[in-house]
Structure 1
Amino acid sequence: MSLLLLCSATVEPLNSDFMAREFSMQFGGMAFTKGELLVFQFTDPEKGKSFTLSLVVKSIDGIDLNSAASGDEKARPFP
């Protein structure tokens, strides 16, 4: 899934590893649609600052889990 940041950009670098973990915790198990708007809030522990981001789902990839689990080499992500 690709996401587009809509709010004004910060000049500070953000910890993308922490953002990915936090996103998974907040949105794990949810289904999204292309064009869906999300609001994502996280606190960067290194900076002690809180950020609220508006995100739009740009694209979604999928995979056949049964094929992947069986080791089928044709099991690759599809749009």
Structure 2
Amino acid sequence: MKKMSMILLSATFLTLSIGCGPEKGAESVFDEDEMAKYRSTPEQIAAGMKSGQAIAPDKKEAAALGKETAKATNSAGK
């Protein structure tokens, strides 16, 4: 049984390696210029990270909110 499964596995890999050769590679359906329109620049990414940090509460506020939520959840479950 083990020998048969090894033969089957080897045949599968051989079939896949032949079928996925470099000459049969997949071609992209997207034009590079069109894809560039949707790419973010490093400056845009940095600006997004800064705005996300400005929105996020500080650690003390987050801890207080977590405690309030836990108390509300515990009292609702009783």
Same structural fold, with TM-score higher than 0.5 when normalized by the shorter chain: no
Which is richer in helix? 2
Which is richer in strand? 1
TM-score bin (small chain): under 0.3
